Amino acid sequence: MTAPLTMLTEEERLFADTVRQFAEDRIRPRVQAMDEASRLDPEIIPPCFELGLMGIEIPEEHGGSGGSFFLACLAVEELSRVDPSVGVFVDVQNTLFNNCLLRWGTPEQIARYGPRMATDTVGAYALSESTSGSDAFGLRTRATKAGGLYRLNGAKLWITNGAEAGAYVVFATVDPAAGYKGITAFLVERGFPGFQVGKKEDKLGIRASSTTELLLEDCEVPEENVLGEAGKGYRVAIETLNEGRIGIGAQMVGCARGALEAALAYSREREAFGRSIFEFQKVQFDLAQMATELEAARLMVRNAARLKDAGQSFLKEAAMAKLYSSQVAERVTSAAVEIFGGYGYTRDYPVEKLYRDAKIGKIYEGTSNMQLATIAKALAG
């Protein structure tokens, strides 16, 4: 019998419980301070590695947890329920950097970087530039071959984990005249000559997640650090993002779940007109609507992740899951702010932050318009 989508295996349930407990014990007490400081507390990074959250799909022989993509999505959801900034920190590591490495890396590259990513190195994924976001293949960063290495020149913008990362997947073109067929993916280390982390963005939400510029000035990258083939980086970029956006769906589900749980608890405590506000039917109906939309979004995200793990096509389902879960997160967090009344508008309760955090879901890893374009293309066959 096929298992219902809401059902987790024993391993998945135990894993989700462990991550939830970690998020409650170690992250929740720091959420507000991290948001105010616009920085991840460095103390939460080592336990993320120790718990195996930074190398979920990395095979055990390379020091990872040897888990599934679905488990990575579960971790992102549980972390994002408490802090979507920590959710995306773990998401980029697993669904973008590690995913890219495992899918496109040579056995030698996997053996060299896998153990580091699983134990102490944060990863980032650098595709966007100031003039190319949705139109990602209009990128201008140039890679020029010189002997046994490439020299990279250009600047990347909006790079999540930029401040904490030690390793970056960087996209550059080896031949601007070839258009997208010049794009090449490189494994770049923070210590490579000519590499520098630039300005950090001051953002509306997910403030603790670093978003930085990367500056490449004659950055020297050994030839053996080309990921995939030279000129085939567009496939690395597209296929990784197709998968990665399921993780963003999980982040949005977690964010919405955090807001719904907080609003439900508050509605039972807060009294008005001599009763708890939960007793007003309109408040109950709002919560019921929020819970229903959240359930739908979660089913879509989980199904897309299960399809990926099963080796089935998931492109349309992933785009739909990301599109819908980001819409749901915005609606649910907004409704949660209203259920909290005036308190919801302050930083004393978690929903104000979750409302700000939700907005990013419609922007990164393909804006909502780009998801709609993917879905429409799939519909047209």
Ligand X SMILES: Cc1cc2nc3c(=O)[nH]c(=O)nc-3n(C[C@H](O)[C@H](O)[C@H](O)COP(=O)(O)OP(=O)(O)OC[C@H]3O[C@@H](n4cnc5c(N)ncnc54)[C@H](O)[C@@H]3O)c2cc1C
Residue 90 is a binding residue for ligand X (CB under 6 A): no
Crossing angle of helices 233-269 and 315-339, in 10° steps, is: 30
Which residue lies nearer to ligand X by CB, 66 or 198? 198
Residue 364 is a binding residue for ligand X (CB under 6 A): yes
Q: Does the annotation count 269 as an active-site position?
A: no
Residue 97 is a binding residue for ligand X (CB under 6 A): no
Point out which span in 75-83, 123-131, 262-270, 300-308 binds ligand X (CB under 6 A).
123-131
Residue 375 is a binding residue for ligand X (CB under 6 A): no
Shortest spacing between CB 380 and ligand X, in angstroms? 15
Residue 133 is a binding residue for ligand X (CB under 6 A): yes
Give the closest residue to 80 by CA, choosing from 254, 226, 244, 208. Answer: 254
Residue 128 is a binding residue for ligand X (CB under 6 A): yes
Phi, then psi, of 292 in degrees rounded to 5: -65, -45
* Length of the chain measured in residues: 381
Phi-psi region of 66 (alpha: psi -120 to 50; beta: other; left: phi over 0): left
Which residue lies nearer to ligand X by CB, 244 or 350? 244
- Cα(245)–Cα(125) distance, integer angstroms: 13
Phi, then psi, of 3 in degrees rounded to 5: -75, 145
Residue 367 is a binding residue for ligand X (CB under 6 A): yes
- Cα(165)–Cα(158) distance, integer angstroms: 13
Phi, then psi, of 232 in degrees rounded to 5: -115, 15
Residue 126 is a binding residue for ligand X (CB under 6 A): yes
Point out which span in 128-136, 137-145, 272-280, 320-328 binds ligand X (CB under 6 A).
128-136
Residue 160 is a binding residue for ligand X (CB under 6 A): yes
Shortest spacing between CB 157 and ligand X, in angstroms? 7
Shortest spacing between CB 95 and ligand X, in angstroms? 11
Residue 227 is a binding residue for ligand X (CB under 6 A): no
H-type helices in 178-232, by residue range? none
Residue 87 CB-density burial (10 A; 0-12 exposed, 13-18 middle, 19+ buried): buried
Which residues carry out catalysis?
365
- Which residues of this chain interact with ligand X, rule CB under 6 A? 92, 125-128, 133-134, 158-160, 203, 211, 360, 363-365, 367, 369
